[in-house]
A and B are shown apart, each in its own frame.
Chain A
Amino acid sequence: MSTTPPPSPGRLFGEFARVGLSGFGGVLPFVRRAVVERNGWIDDRGFTELLGVAQVMPGPNVVNLAVMLGYRYAGVRGALFAFSGLVLVPMALLLAIVYFYYRFGDVAGVRGALRGMMAVSAGLILATGFKLATGLPRHVRALVPMVVALIAVGFLRLPLVPVVLILLPLCLALEWWAGRRAAGGESVPSEERRPDRDR
Chain B
Amino acid sequence: MNAVVDSITAADPAMLWAMFKQFLLLSLLSIGGANSTVSEMHRFMVIEHQWIDEQRFTELYAISQAAPGPNVLFVALFGLEAAGFLGLAVAMFGICGPSSLLALLLEHAAADPRNARWMGLIKRSLAPMTVGLVLSTGVVLAQGATTGWVTALLVAATVIALIATRWHPLLLIAVGAAIGALQLN
Contacts and interface: CB of A to CB of B under 8 A. Distances in A.
Contacts, number: 354
Contacts of B127: 45, 48-49, 52, 136, 142
A122 B155 CA distance: 6
Contact of B104 (A68, A149, A153, A160): A68
**Which range contains the number of A residues in contact with the other chain?**
35 or more
Nearest to A176: B121
B128 A50 contact: no
B113 interface: no
A98 B129 contact: no
Summarize B's interface: helix, strand, loop or mixed: helix
**Which range contains the number of B residues in contact with the other chain?**
35 or more
A123 B100 contact: no
B69 A57 contact: no
A142 B163 CA distance: 22
Interface string B69-98: 111110011001000000000001001101
B121 A172 contact: yes
B15 interface: no
Interface of A: 20-30, 33, 45, 48-64, 67-68, 71-72, 76, 79, 83, 86-87, 90-91, 93-95, 97-98, 101, 105, 108-110, 112-133, 136, 141-150, 152-155, 157, 159-161, 164, 167-168, 171-172, 174-176, 179
Interface of B: 27-34, 36, 59-60, 62-73, 76-77, 80, 92, 95-96, 98-100, 102-104, 106-108, 111, 121-142, 144-147, 151-152, 154-159, 161-163, 169-170, 172-173, 175-183
Given A27-B69, A87-B70, 7 more contacts: A27-B68, A58-B102, A64-B100, A98-B77, A118-B145, A119-B155, A168-B129
